[in-house]
Amino acid sequence: MKIIKITIASIVAIVLVAGIFLFKGELAPKEVDAKYTSDTSQFFTMRNGARIHFRDEGNPNGPAVVLVHGSNASLHTWEPWVEILGESYRIITMDLPAHGLTGAVPDKRYGSPAQLRTVDAVVRHLGLDKFTLGGNSMGGGVTWRYTLAHPEKVEAMLLIDSSGLPQFRQQLEAKANQLDQDKKEAPVFFSLMRKPWFRAIARYTDPYWLTKQGVSSAYNHSPVVTEELIQRYYELALRSGSRDATLSRFSNYNSTEDAVDSTKFNVPALIMWGRDDSLISVDVAMLFDAALAHSTLVIYDKVGHMPMEEIPNRSAEDVSTFLFEVYGANLPF
Protein backbone atom coordinates (compact mmCIF):
# COMPACT_ATOMS: atom_id res chain seq x y z
CA MET A 1 0.00 0.00 0.00
CA LYS A 2 2.87 2.35 0.85
CA ILE A 3 4.49 1.71 -2.53
CA ILE A 4 1.20 2.46 -4.29
CA LYS A 5 0.82 5.75 -2.41
CA ILE A 6 4.39 6.74 -3.26
CA THR A 7 3.81 5.87 -6.91
CA ILE A 8 0.60 7.90 -7.06
CA ALA A 9 2.28 10.83 -5.34
CA SER A 10 5.15 10.66 -7.82
CA ILE A 11 2.79 10.64 -10.78
CA VAL A 12 0.87 13.62 -9.37
CA ALA A 13 4.14 15.48 -8.82
CA ILE A 14 5.29 14.77 -12.37
CA VAL A 15 1.97 15.99 -13.78
CA LEU A 16 2.13 19.18 -11.69
CA VAL A 17 5.72 19.94 -12.68
CA ALA A 18 4.94 19.19 -16.33
CA GLY A 19 1.91 21.46 -16.10
CA ILE A 20 4.09 24.31 -14.83
CA PHE A 21 6.57 23.97 -17.67
CA LEU A 22 4.00 23.19 -20.36
CA PHE A 23 1.50 25.86 -19.33
CA LYS A 24 0.39 28.10 -22.16
CA GLY A 25 -1.97 31.03 -21.77
CA GLU A 26 -4.57 32.15 -24.28
CA LEU A 27 -4.10 34.67 -27.07
CA ALA A 28 -6.16 37.84 -27.27
CA PRO A 29 -8.91 37.61 -29.92
CA LYS A 30 -7.90 40.95 -31.45
CA GLU A 31 -4.35 39.68 -31.97
CA VAL A 32 -5.47 36.44 -33.61
CA ASP A 33 -8.25 38.07 -35.64
CA ALA A 34 -5.89 40.69 -37.04
CA LYS A 35 -3.58 37.95 -38.32
CA TYR A 36 -6.16 35.55 -39.76
CA THR A 37 -8.80 37.81 -41.30
CA SER A 38 -8.58 38.74 -44.96
CA ASP A 39 -10.05 41.47 -47.14
CA THR A 40 -13.03 39.18 -47.75
CA SER A 41 -13.64 38.25 -44.10
CA GLN A 42 -17.07 39.19 -42.80
CA PHE A 43 -18.86 38.75 -39.47
CA PHE A 44 -22.49 38.61 -38.48
CA THR A 45 -24.26 37.79 -35.23
CA MET A 46 -26.80 34.99 -34.94
CA ARG A 47 -29.88 35.22 -32.74
CA ASN A 48 -28.09 33.28 -30.00
CA GLY A 49 -25.35 35.91 -29.89
CA ALA A 50 -22.75 33.85 -31.77
CA ARG A 51 -20.44 36.03 -33.88
CA ILE A 52 -19.77 34.05 -37.06
CA HIS A 53 -16.74 34.54 -39.26
CA PHE A 54 -17.41 33.80 -42.93
CA ARG A 55 -16.21 34.66 -46.40
CA ASP A 56 -18.22 35.13 -49.60
CA GLU A 57 -15.75 34.93 -52.49
CA GLY A 58 -15.33 34.03 -56.13
CA ASN A 59 -17.69 34.76 -58.99
CA PRO A 60 -20.83 36.44 -57.58
CA ASN A 61 -22.77 35.34 -60.68
CA GLY A 62 -21.75 31.69 -60.47
CA PRO A 63 -23.56 28.84 -58.71
CA ALA A 64 -23.05 28.96 -54.96
CA VAL A 65 -20.79 26.38 -53.30
CA VAL A 66 -20.84 26.32 -49.49
CA LEU A 67 -17.86 24.58 -47.88
CA VAL A 68 -17.59 23.41 -44.25
CA HIS A 69 -14.26 22.64 -42.56
CA GLY A 70 -13.43 19.69 -40.31
CA SER A 71 -12.82 19.30 -36.59
CA ASN A 72 -10.23 21.71 -35.17
CA ALA A 73 -9.77 23.30 -38.59
CA SER A 74 -11.09 26.59 -39.99
CA LEU A 75 -12.31 28.16 -43.21
CA HIS A 76 -8.68 28.77 -44.17
CA THR A 77 -8.43 25.14 -45.26
CA TRP A 78 -10.52 26.02 -48.34
CA GLU A 79 -8.32 28.88 -49.57
CA PRO A 80 -6.63 26.83 -52.34
CA TRP A 81 -10.01 25.82 -53.78
CA VAL A 82 -11.34 29.37 -53.53
CA GLU A 83 -8.45 30.58 -55.65
CA ILE A 84 -8.86 27.84 -58.26
CA LEU A 85 -12.65 27.45 -58.42
CA GLY A 86 -13.56 31.06 -57.69
CA GLU A 87 -13.44 32.07 -61.36
CA SER A 88 -16.61 30.10 -62.04
CA TYR A 89 -18.27 29.65 -58.64
CA ARG A 90 -19.42 31.79 -55.76
CA ILE A 91 -17.75 30.14 -52.77
CA ILE A 92 -18.93 30.61 -49.20
CA THR A 93 -16.84 29.37 -46.29
CA MET A 94 -17.32 29.80 -42.54
CA ASP A 95 -15.86 29.06 -39.14
CA LEU A 96 -18.19 26.85 -37.11
CA PRO A 97 -18.69 27.49 -33.37
CA ALA A 98 -15.59 26.51 -31.35
CA HIS A 99 -13.44 26.97 -34.46
CA GLY A 100 -11.39 29.63 -36.20
CA LEU A 101 -12.38 33.25 -35.62
CA THR A 102 -15.90 32.30 -34.54
CA GLY A 103 -14.57 30.53 -31.47
CA ALA A 104 -16.60 30.29 -28.28
CA VAL A 105 -20.29 31.22 -28.45
CA PRO A 106 -22.56 32.52 -25.65
CA ASP A 107 -24.87 29.50 -25.41
CA LYS A 108 -21.90 27.08 -25.35
CA ARG A 109 -23.59 24.72 -27.81
CA TYR A 110 -21.15 23.10 -30.18
CA GLY A 111 -22.74 19.81 -31.25
CA SER A 112 -24.26 18.79 -34.55
CA PRO A 113 -27.53 20.76 -34.12
CA ALA A 114 -25.55 23.95 -33.49
CA GLN A 115 -23.39 23.30 -36.55
CA LEU A 116 -26.46 22.85 -38.76
CA ARG A 117 -28.02 26.03 -37.35
CA THR A 118 -24.83 27.92 -38.14
CA VAL A 119 -24.73 26.77 -41.76
CA ASP A 120 -28.40 27.63 -42.15
CA ALA A 121 -27.89 31.06 -40.57
CA VAL A 122 -25.05 31.86 -42.98
CA VAL A 123 -26.96 30.85 -46.12
CA ARG A 124 -30.05 32.71 -44.93
CA HIS A 125 -27.94 35.77 -44.15
CA LEU A 126 -26.68 35.65 -47.75
CA GLY A 127 -30.11 34.93 -49.21
CA LEU A 128 -29.12 31.59 -50.75
CA ASP A 129 -32.05 29.34 -51.64
CA LYS A 130 -30.08 26.63 -53.48
CA PHE A 131 -26.42 25.67 -53.45
CA THR A 132 -23.90 22.86 -53.53
CA LEU A 133 -22.81 21.90 -50.02
CA GLY A 134 -19.46 20.30 -49.28
CA GLY A 135 -17.43 19.39 -46.24
CA ASN A 136 -14.26 17.76 -45.06
CA SER A 137 -14.20 15.29 -42.13
CA MET A 138 -16.63 16.64 -39.50
CA GLY A 139 -17.75 19.14 -42.13
CA GLY A 140 -18.73 16.21 -44.34
CA GLY A 141 -20.97 15.03 -41.52
CA VAL A 142 -22.49 18.51 -41.39
CA THR A 143 -23.00 18.27 -45.16
CA TRP A 144 -25.02 15.04 -45.23
CA ARG A 145 -26.98 15.94 -42.07
CA TYR A 146 -27.90 19.35 -43.49
CA THR A 147 -28.91 17.75 -46.78
CA LEU A 148 -31.28 15.42 -44.94
CA ALA A 149 -32.74 18.34 -42.97
CA HIS A 150 -33.01 20.73 -45.94
CA PRO A 151 -33.26 18.66 -49.15
CA GLU A 152 -34.95 21.53 -50.97
CA LYS A 153 -31.81 23.68 -50.68
CA VAL A 154 -28.93 21.35 -51.52
CA GLU A 155 -28.32 20.73 -55.23
CA ALA A 156 -25.24 18.52 -54.82
CA MET A 157 -22.91 17.24 -52.10
CA LEU A 158 -19.12 17.16 -51.87
CA LEU A 159 -17.97 14.63 -49.27
CA ILE A 160 -14.22 15.00 -48.71
CA ASP A 161 -12.82 12.38 -46.29
CA SER A 162 -16.15 12.79 -44.53
CA SER A 163 -17.54 11.53 -41.26
CA GLY A 164 -19.63 8.49 -42.12
CA LEU A 165 -23.28 7.62 -41.73
CA PRO A 166 -24.06 6.20 -38.25
CA GLN A 167 -24.63 2.66 -39.57
CA PHE A 168 -21.13 2.59 -41.05
CA ARG A 169 -19.66 1.98 -37.58
CA GLN A 170 -21.40 -1.37 -37.38
CA GLN A 171 -20.51 -2.25 -40.95
CA LEU A 172 -16.83 -1.56 -40.29
CA GLU A 173 -16.67 -3.75 -37.18
CA ALA A 174 -16.26 -6.86 -39.33
CA LYS A 175 -13.08 -5.35 -40.76
CA ALA A 176 -11.80 -4.04 -37.43
CA ASN A 177 -8.85 -6.42 -37.16
CA GLN A 178 -7.65 -5.63 -40.66
CA LEU A 179 -8.09 -1.90 -40.09
CA ASP A 180 -5.97 -2.11 -36.92
CA GLN A 181 -3.20 -3.84 -38.86
CA ASP A 182 -3.30 -1.28 -41.65
CA LYS A 183 -3.72 1.74 -39.37
CA LYS A 184 -1.35 4.61 -40.08
CA GLU A 185 0.01 7.19 -37.69
CA ALA A 186 -3.04 9.18 -36.62
CA PRO A 187 -3.26 12.51 -34.78
CA VAL A 188 -2.78 11.73 -31.07
CA PHE A 189 -5.00 14.66 -30.10
CA PHE A 190 -8.27 12.97 -31.00
CA SER A 191 -7.58 9.82 -28.99
CA LEU A 192 -6.45 11.89 -25.99
CA MET A 193 -9.56 14.07 -26.11
CA ARG A 194 -11.71 10.98 -25.51
CA LYS A 195 -10.02 10.57 -22.11
CA PRO A 196 -11.49 12.59 -19.19
CA TRP A 197 -8.11 12.93 -17.44
CA PHE A 198 -6.61 14.62 -20.49
CA ARG A 199 -9.55 16.97 -20.93
CA ALA A 200 -9.03 18.00 -17.29
CA ILE A 201 -5.55 19.37 -18.02
CA ALA A 202 -5.81 20.24 -21.72
CA ARG A 203 -7.01 23.81 -21.11
CA TYR A 204 -3.75 24.61 -19.30
CA THR A 205 -1.07 22.90 -21.37
CA ASP A 206 0.79 24.10 -24.44
CA PRO A 207 -0.78 22.34 -27.48
CA TYR A 208 2.10 23.05 -29.88
CA TRP A 209 3.57 19.54 -30.11
CA LEU A 210 0.16 17.88 -30.31
CA THR A 211 -0.75 20.37 -33.03
CA LYS A 212 2.42 19.68 -34.99
CA GLN A 213 2.02 15.89 -34.75
CA GLY A 214 -1.69 16.09 -35.58
CA VAL A 215 -1.28 18.32 -38.61
CA SER A 216 1.66 16.31 -39.97
CA SER A 217 -0.17 12.99 -39.72
CA ALA A 218 -3.52 14.32 -40.96
CA TYR A 219 -1.82 15.79 -44.04
CA ASN A 220 0.10 12.50 -44.57
CA HIS A 221 3.40 14.33 -43.95
CA SER A 222 2.82 16.36 -47.10
CA PRO A 223 5.32 19.09 -48.03
CA VAL A 224 2.45 21.59 -47.69
CA VAL A 225 2.83 21.21 -43.91
CA THR A 226 5.01 24.23 -43.17
CA GLU A 227 5.62 25.99 -39.87
CA GLU A 228 3.20 28.68 -41.07
CA LEU A 229 0.45 26.06 -41.46
CA ILE A 230 1.18 24.58 -38.03
CA GLN A 231 1.10 28.07 -36.49
CA ARG A 232 -2.31 28.70 -38.03
CA TYR A 233 -3.80 25.70 -36.25
CA TYR A 234 -1.86 26.46 -33.08
CA GLU A 235 -2.75 30.13 -32.76
CA LEU A 236 -6.41 29.63 -33.65
CA ALA A 237 -6.58 26.93 -30.96
CA LEU A 238 -5.14 29.37 -28.41
CA ARG A 239 -7.59 32.17 -29.25
CA SER A 240 -9.27 33.14 -25.99
CA GLY A 241 -12.21 30.84 -25.22
CA SER A 242 -11.48 28.33 -27.97
CA ARG A 243 -9.86 25.69 -25.78
CA ASP A 244 -12.83 25.62 -23.40
CA ALA A 245 -15.18 25.47 -26.39
CA THR A 246 -13.24 22.55 -27.88
CA LEU A 247 -13.28 20.70 -24.55
CA SER A 248 -17.02 21.23 -24.29
CA ARG A 249 -17.51 19.92 -27.81
CA PHE A 250 -15.58 16.72 -27.14
CA SER A 251 -17.15 16.22 -23.70
CA ASN A 252 -20.63 16.19 -25.24
CA TYR A 253 -19.82 14.11 -28.32
CA ASN A 254 -22.72 11.84 -29.33
CA SER A 255 -21.70 8.46 -30.74
CA THR A 256 -25.16 6.85 -30.59
CA GLU A 257 -26.98 8.32 -33.57
CA ASP A 258 -29.69 6.26 -35.23
CA ALA A 259 -29.10 4.77 -38.65
CA VAL A 260 -29.89 7.03 -41.61
CA ASP A 261 -32.07 6.00 -44.54
CA SER A 262 -29.62 6.55 -47.40
CA THR A 263 -32.42 6.41 -49.99
CA LYS A 264 -33.38 9.91 -48.85
CA PHE A 265 -30.27 11.34 -50.52
CA ASN A 266 -31.53 12.27 -53.98
CA VAL A 267 -28.83 14.71 -55.06
CA PRO A 268 -25.58 13.90 -56.89
CA ALA A 269 -22.62 13.42 -54.57
CA LEU A 270 -18.90 13.58 -55.24
CA ILE A 271 -16.99 11.41 -52.75
CA MET A 272 -13.31 12.38 -52.56
CA TRP A 273 -10.81 10.49 -50.39
CA GLY A 274 -7.11 10.20 -49.68
CA ARG A 275 -6.16 6.54 -49.68
CA ASP A 276 -3.64 7.20 -46.89
CA ASP A 277 -6.13 8.99 -44.62
CA SER A 278 -5.06 8.22 -41.05
CA LEU A 279 -8.23 9.63 -39.48
CA ILE A 280 -11.11 8.19 -41.51
CA SER A 281 -10.43 4.97 -43.41
CA VAL A 282 -10.87 4.86 -47.17
CA ASP A 283 -13.30 2.00 -46.44
CA VAL A 284 -15.79 4.68 -45.42
CA ALA A 285 -15.55 6.12 -48.94
CA MET A 286 -16.54 2.72 -50.34
CA LEU A 287 -19.50 2.54 -47.97
CA PHE A 288 -20.66 6.00 -49.02
CA ASP A 289 -20.40 5.05 -52.68
CA ALA A 290 -22.49 1.91 -52.08
CA ALA A 291 -25.08 3.75 -49.96
CA LEU A 292 -25.69 6.78 -52.19
CA ALA A 293 -27.63 6.23 -55.41
CA HIS A 294 -26.13 9.18 -57.30
CA SER A 295 -22.47 9.14 -56.30
CA THR A 296 -19.12 9.56 -58.00
CA LEU A 297 -16.07 8.22 -56.16
CA VAL A 298 -12.52 9.55 -56.52
CA ILE A 299 -9.66 8.09 -54.45
CA TYR A 300 -6.22 9.72 -54.37
CA ASP A 301 -3.14 7.59 -53.84
CA LYS A 302 -0.49 8.87 -51.43
CA VAL A 303 -2.89 11.52 -50.09
CA GLY A 304 -4.11 11.90 -46.51
CA HIS A 305 -7.11 13.56 -44.87
CA MET A 306 -6.92 16.95 -46.63
CA PRO A 307 -6.99 16.61 -50.45
CA MET A 308 -8.09 20.22 -50.91
CA GLU A 309 -4.77 21.38 -49.44
CA GLU A 310 -2.47 18.43 -50.20
CA ILE A 311 -3.35 18.28 -53.92
CA PRO A 312 -5.40 21.45 -54.53
CA ASN A 313 -5.14 21.54 -58.33
CA ARG A 314 -6.05 17.92 -58.94
CA SER A 315 -8.87 17.84 -56.38
CA ALA A 316 -10.29 21.16 -57.59
CA GLU A 317 -10.25 19.86 -61.17
CA ASP A 318 -12.36 16.88 -60.07
CA VAL A 319 -14.80 19.22 -58.34
CA SER A 320 -14.98 21.38 -61.46
CA THR A 321 -15.72 18.35 -63.67
CA PHE A 322 -18.41 17.15 -61.28
CA LEU A 323 -20.07 20.57 -60.92
CA PHE A 324 -20.06 21.09 -64.68
CA GLU A 325 -22.27 18.01 -64.91
CA VAL A 326 -24.53 19.44 -62.20
CA TYR A 327 -24.85 22.99 -63.52
CA GLY A 328 -23.86 22.76 -67.20
CA ALA A 329 -25.15 25.71 -69.18
CA ASN A 330 -25.78 27.74 -66.01
CA LEU A 331 -22.06 28.32 -65.51
CA PRO A 332 -20.87 31.89 -66.27
CA PHE A 333 -18.44 31.07 -69.09
User: How far is 142 from 176, CA to CA, in rounded Å?
Assistant: 25
Helices and strands, counts by H and E, the chain? 15, 8
Query: Within 13 Å and on the Cβ side, how many CA atoms surround 125?
Result: 22
DSSP string for residues in 208-231: HHHHHHHHHHHTTT-TT--HHHHH
Tell if the pTM clears 0.85, that is, is over it.
Answer: yes
Pair type for strands 131-136 and 64-68: parallel
C-alpha to C-alpha distances, 329 to 57, 91, 176, 326, nearest whole angstrom: 21, 19, 46, 9
319's CB contacts (< 8 A; 6+ apart) are 81, 85, 134, 158, 270, 272
Q: State the fold for domain 9-328.
A: Rossmann fold (3.40.50)
Residue 180 phi/psi, 5-degree rounding, is -65, -40
Q: In a structure prediction context, what are the per-residue pLDDT tens digits for the chain, which is 333 residues long?
A: 555 545 444 444 444 444 434 667 899 999 999 999 999 999 999 999 999 999 999 999 999 999 999 999 999 999 999 999 999 999 999 999 999 999 999 999 999 999 999 999 999 999 999 999 999 999 999 999 999 999 999 999 999 999 999 999 888 876 665 544 456 778 898 888 888 889 889 888 999 999 999 999 999 999 999 999 999 999 999 999 999 999 999 988 766 788 999 999 999 999 999 999 999 999 999 999 999 999 999 999 999 999 999 999 999 999 999 999 999 866 665
